[in-house]
Amino acid sequence: MEMAEPRPGIRDEVLRPLEEAGLKGFHWRTWLTAGMGFFTDAYDLFIIGVVTTLLVPLWHLTTLELMLLNSSALAASVLGALIFGRLMDRWGRKAVYGIEALLLTVGALLSAFSVNFWMLFALRFLVGMGVGGDYPMSGVIMSEYSNRKRRGFLVNAVFAMQGFGLLIGPLVAYLLLQTGVPTQSAWRIMLGLGAVPAAVVIYLRRRIAETPHFAAGVQGDVKAAAETVSRLTGTAVAVEGKAPALPQDAGLLWRRYLGTLLGTALCWMLLDMAFYGNSVSSGLILKALEPHGTLAGNTLTSLLIFLVAAAPGYWVSALTIDRLGRRRIQVLGFSVMALAYAALWLIPGIAERPEEFLLVYAVSYFFIEFGPNSTTFVYPSEVFPVTVRGIGFGVSASAGKAGAAVATFLFPLLLLHLKLSGTMGLLAGISALGALLTLGLLPEPKGQTLREASGEDRLETEAPMQAISG
């Protein structure tokens, strides 16, 4: 019997109802399933700054041990992003999703029972593996379930859940410190609470269906993809024939997408160097501003900055990204960050005027969240083809977390040797470079289907016309 010829365009036919669907219940369920992980990621990553402040006198931590604890989870997230990014391309989104949440849960819970520095360091490393894995998993899955017109909003909204983690972390710390909970118990409660939201979504993540993009694009199972699209959108999708093969080797990422990969990875790295150095070490910054301030007072100040500046930035970005575009928002964010940090560096005596310093500092926080902290997450979920989307996202996220780990590790030394103003000057240069790289290396994918934004449709016409066996 004659084999059916693979038919170009069949994937577009199958996926078109998904791309053109309005916002439906499955979009919001996917958002909640993915977003709760980012709430946990933010809480776990940023609560350590308060915890280590409490542990310094309790465990007599050295400067090196403080630096290692602050950066251990971020260093591990580099590895987690690469591993999970590769696994999701090889085994599928459904097969892997939820394992990273399990790592987060176990690591956060056990870290609350740490008895010494090395035990806490190892468990924070486990937490970081889960955090790193969550980035490519949740970003790609949300992108592949999104529609064309609101994809930026939906992926951005997943990441915006980080804002709530930024708020809850300082709030929990402040309440524990103010209500007189003993220090020996307070830091354990802070760490242990990170297990709760991660545990909630493990079941939801393990039950999520394989994305139609992966089923059709990697597995070649257009029938299964059509059935999923029909069930989700309520639109009957009739398919006949097979899909032509897409290149599935990881080398594709380096041969055809190197410039784009450099753009997504380097911009994320520069952003995280500025953002995480600032955020995880915010207690040190506030201590430099107010040497005689209390830990509870500094924690409350951090909470207010997050509430007034950071949290709104995430959602303003989510609500405008599909209209303004990813590229414009990222350039604007990096540029205002550079100006704000330059002001904190160059204005004489501003470090001695806490109110003025914190006002400019808050402006930088808004534009971090509105700009590159959101868009660097959205970009890699869109601009790589489905066969290497996970590893493309993983490489980008790991570059970001490598920058974050370096920044949090070095930030205490930078504050010591460059002082507050000099450190802000360094961040200004990093931010300006991020704006230039965005302009030079990154495209604008707004309004395009996921296959168009990634160039996957062009790859398909170039690929050998051979049938993919089911």
Does the pLDDT at position 35 exceed 90? yes
Q: How far apart are CA 138 and CA 134, in angstroms?
A: 6
Asked whether the CA dihedral 214, 220, 226, 227 is positive or negative, the reply is negative
Instruction: List for the chain the helix, strand, coil content (%; round to 5).
Output: 80, 0, 20
Give the pLDDT confidence score for residue 15 in this predicted structure.
94
Phi, psi for residue 467 in degrees, rounded to 5:
-70, 145
Q: How far is CA 381 from the centre of its chain?
A: 11
Which pLDDT band, with edges at 50, 70 and 90, does 204 fall under?
Answer: confident
Q: Which of 350-364, 391-405, 434-448 has the lowest mean pLDDT?
A: 350-364
One-character DSSP codes across 397-457? HHHHHHHHHHHHHHHHHHHHHTHHHHHHHHHHHHHHHHHHHHHHH----TTS-HHHHHTHH
Q: How far is CA 181 from the centre of its chain?
A: 32
Q: What is the mean pLDDT of the chain?
A: 87
As a whole number, mean pLDDT of residues 62-81 equals 88
One-character DSSP codes across 124-188? HHHHHHHHHHHHHHHHHHHHHHS-TTTHHHHHHHHHHHHHHHHHHHHHHHHHHHHTT--HHHHHH
Give the pLDDT confidence score for residue 466 in this predicted structure.
40
**Domain boundary assignment for the chain:** 10-462
Task: State both tokens at 220.
Answer: 């070649």
Give the pLDDT confidence score for residue 457 in this predicted structure.
81
Task: State both tokens at 97.
Answer: 């999703």
Does the pLDDT at position 300 exceed 50? yes
Q: Render pLDDT for 218-232 as a digit per residue (tens, 0 to 9).
A: 988 899 999 999 999
* Domain 10-462 coded CATH 1.20.1250.20: yes
Give the pLDDT confidence score for residue 293 in this predicted structure.
62
pLDDT cut 70: percent of the chain above it: 90
Give the pLDDT confidence score for residue 292 in this predicted structure.
62
Q: How far apart are CA 102 and CA 84, in angstroms?
A: 13
Does the pLDDT at position 452 exceed 70? yes
The more confident residue out of 311 and 380 is 380
Task: State both tokens at 142.
Answer: 């949300």
Q: Cα dist. 425→67, 102, 109, 159, 351 in Å?
A: 22, 40, 39, 28, 13
Residue 332: CB atoms within 10 A of its CB come to 18
Q: Render pLDDT for 115-157 as a digit per residue (tens, 0 to 9).
A: 999 999 999 999 999 999 999 999 999 999 999 999 999 999 9
Which pLDDT band, with edges at 50, 70 and 90, does 277 fall under?
Answer: low
| CA neighbor of 17 nearest in space, from 212, 199, 243, 203 | 212
Most confident of 102-106, 299-303, 465-469: 102-106
The more confident residue out of 102 and 171 is 102
Does the pLDDT at position 66 exceed 90? no
The more confident residue out of 169 and 261 is 261
Q: Render pLDDT for 337-361 as a digit per residue (tens, 0 to 9).
A: 999 889 888 888 776 776 777 778 7
